[in-house]
Amino acid sequence: MKKLYITAAAAALFSAAALAAPQGFNGGQGVAGGPQGFNNAAPNTVAAVKSQAYDDQIVTLQGRLTKHLQKDHYEFTDLQGNTIEVELDDDQDWSNIAKDQLIEIVGEVDKDLLSISIDVKRAVPVQQ
């Protein structure tokens, strides 16, 4: 019986320390509406996408479609003048945007061994 009391007292003592620990994530500014504790600001320029982005990362960029490359592939030029290839899915209607119009794109980074491009999921004109 004495062993039972010692075991119960030890369990209570150790569980109290575990419950006193802070809960959740601490520090860092995350994405608005996302979980707290992560400093994961996505790159927002073409240069940052090329140097920092990882495969399948969602990015938001502002710029213009400046050249048609092939089928559904275009050249996107950001506000700093840097370019990247983007793919506009041919299943969507892109008639709301035009060549050289200032737009905001949201897309997924497609990073291969020798190239990097963005699969555009959404593109909207920017109101000036």
Lowest mean pLDDT among 3-12, 51-60, 83-92: 3-12
CA distance 48 to 73: 21
Instruction: State yes or no: pLDDT of 76 exceeds 90.
Output: yes
> For residues 59 and 30, which has the higher predicted lDDT (pLDDT)?
59
Query: What is the pLDDT at residue 7?
Result: 74
Q: Please give the residue that has the higher pLDDT: either 29 or 120.
A: 120
Residue 76 pairs in a beta bridge with: 65, 84
Please, what's the b/e burial string for 17-41 (b: 16 or more CB within 10 A of its CB; e: otherwise)? eeeeeeeeeeeeeeeeeeeeeeeee
Residue 74's CB is within 10 A of a number of other CB atoms, namely 20
Which pLDDT does position 6 carry in this prediction?
76
Could you tell me the domains of the chain? 1-41 (no CATH), 46-125 (2.40.50.200)
Mean pLDDT on 91-105:
94
